[in-house]
Chains A and B, each alone.
Chain A
Amino acid sequence: MSDNHEHSHSDYWKIYKWLVVLFVISVAGPWLAPGIKVIVLLTAFGIALVKALLVVSNFMHLNVEKKFIWFLLLACVFILLVFFAGVAPDVLNKSGNNWVSDSAAMVTHHVKHQENHQADPPPVVSSVKTNIVVTGPSSKGEELFKSKACFTCHQTDPSIPAPAGLALKAPKFMGDFWGKEREVELNSDPISPAFMPSGKFEKVVMDEAYVMESIEKPNLKVVKGAVAAMAPLPTNADERKALAEYIKSLSK
């Protein structure tokens, strides 16, 4: 501690009380006004900054420390800002002259999908764009398959990869698959929308009934080896039937 200052216990207690008050506000703010972004950001991050400064200056005694230490710490913070400024513009970019970020497009679409369960045009991903332009939707099922973004996971064309499906090992709708048997793992809790592995396997036939059931309750019978990542698709029976018809037409 420098020689020219003396904190008393009551000083530390006062600072501590302030820290606790600020902490309560930083939790209460976002809790009371959850939807209001400005309040959440101000109370959470603005107060975090004030709290950090209080601790650094009073508990770490930076307020009476040699100026050199300030310089040292601020130089490090400055390096971080340079890092952010240099890297963020590229990382945050979702498309450029000759490229489009497929994963970013999928993420953006996922949000839209959750906010609005109605049919909603899929993100224009470079590879998918050609598919839409060349073939164009010819049936209701095909249209749904695209608008509900099924194609982001379930690959239908050997020349158009579905990166998200690759990662999740989602079943592909390619080749001669219709009417064929596949092994599925049963959900240990049949009424749960989430998948709880039961370790019990069963053979099911890939037919209209199974496809329609899987659109409504994707986690009831999960194809062996696949990640149970599909959310129940908000559809009515007609739409599910149309989707099943389209998927059947993909089998060759």
Chain B
Amino acid sequence: MPTGRLGMWWVVASEVVIFGGLIMCYLIHRLGNPAWGDEAAFTIVGAGALNTFVLLTSSYWIVRAHKHVNNGELEKAVRDMYLTIACAGIFLIVKSYEYSTEITELLHHHPHPETGHVIGTFPVFWAFYFAATGLHALHVIGGAAAIYIVLRGVKKGENLQRVEYAGIYWHFVDVVWIFLFPLFYIAK
């Protein structure tokens, strides 16, 4: 096994513990506070679902880029990597929209139109929400930057093996979101 890939797997393993620890803490508190479901009703399911789809699609692009590199089709690989970065951009735009909406509602103590529950009554839910999705968004930014750096090498035909390593990291970012989505958006 190439050292680079082994190294990336170690990174992923440590990330499993970072995100996993956060998710476990959230799960423990969520199970103890069923009322947090009223807060979760304020997260925007449509936006979260769109972002899930965007990240799934980006995962497909980056694995295709890896395939193209293996076949020696570097131009196609570069194109697919640009598409991956574009997906990361869409993800971050949607996330910013969500954050601004939620922060505005939190500042104004809006009640929910159906339940009448006033947002922010249980602020710890929002602490977990912003910590988990914020940390994940930082990973999206970092991943997109890493893919861009790898892409510049591919254009010159250098360090082609890095496409796979960046891909493994990017898929991990996708997998984390696969779990964050039901945890913060679907479960009410």
Decide if B129 is an interface residue (CB 8 Å cutoff).
no
Interchain CB contact (< 8 A) of A23 among B35, B53, B175: B53
A73-109 Cβ-contact flags toward B at 8 Å (1 or 0): 1011101100110011001101000000000100110
Decide if A228 is an interface residue (CB 8 Å cutoff).
yes
CB distance from A138 to the nearest CB of B (A): 31
The reply to whether B56 and A16 contact each other, CB–CB distance below 8 Å, is yes
**Once bound together, how far apart are the Cα atoms of A178 and B9, in whole Å?**
68
Residues of chain B within 8 A (CB-CB) of A40 are 186-187
Residues of chain B within 8 A (CB-CB) of A91 are 28-29, 32
The reply to whether A92 and B35 contact each other, CB–CB distance below 8 Å, is no
The reply to whether A60 and B168 contact each other, CB–CB distance below 8 Å, is yes
Residue of B nearest to A7 (CB): B67
Tally inter-chain residue pairs, CB-CB below 8 A. 142
CB distance from B154 to the nearest CB of A (A): 16
B89-128 Cβ-contact flags toward A at 8 Å (1 or 0): 0000000000000000000111100011110111000000
Decide if B24 is an interface residue (CB 8 Å cutoff).
yes
Majority-rule SS of A interface residues = helix
Residues of chain B within 8 A (CB-CB) of A206 are none
**Once bound together, how far apart are the Cα atoms of A104 and B62, in whole Å?**
46
Decide if A1 is an interface residue (CB 8 Å cutoff).
yes
CB distance from B159 to the nearest CB of A (A): 15
The reply to whether B56 and A56 contact each other, CB–CB distance below 8 Å, is no
**Once bound together, how far apart are the Cα atoms of A149 and B66, in whole Å?**
61
**Once bound together, how far apart are the Cα atoms of A110 and B115, in whole Å?**
13
Decide if A27 is an interface residue (CB 8 Å cutoff).
yes
Majority-rule SS of B interface residues = helix
The reply to whether B108 and A195 contact each other, CB–CB distance below 8 Å, is yes
The number of chain A residues with a CB under 8 A from chain B is 58
Residues of chain B within 8 A (CB-CB) of A231 are 111, 116, 118
Between-chain CB contacts (< 8 Å), 21 pairs = A1-B164, A9-B67, A19-B60, A23-B52, A27-B186, A34-B188, A41-B187, A55-B175, A59-B60, A59-B171, A60-B168, A72-B9, A76-B16, A77-B20, A91-B28, A104-B33, A110-B35, A114-B116, A193-B116, A194-B118, A231-B111
Ranked 4 nearest A-B pairs via Cβ:
A44-B182, A80-B20, A44-B186, A16-B60
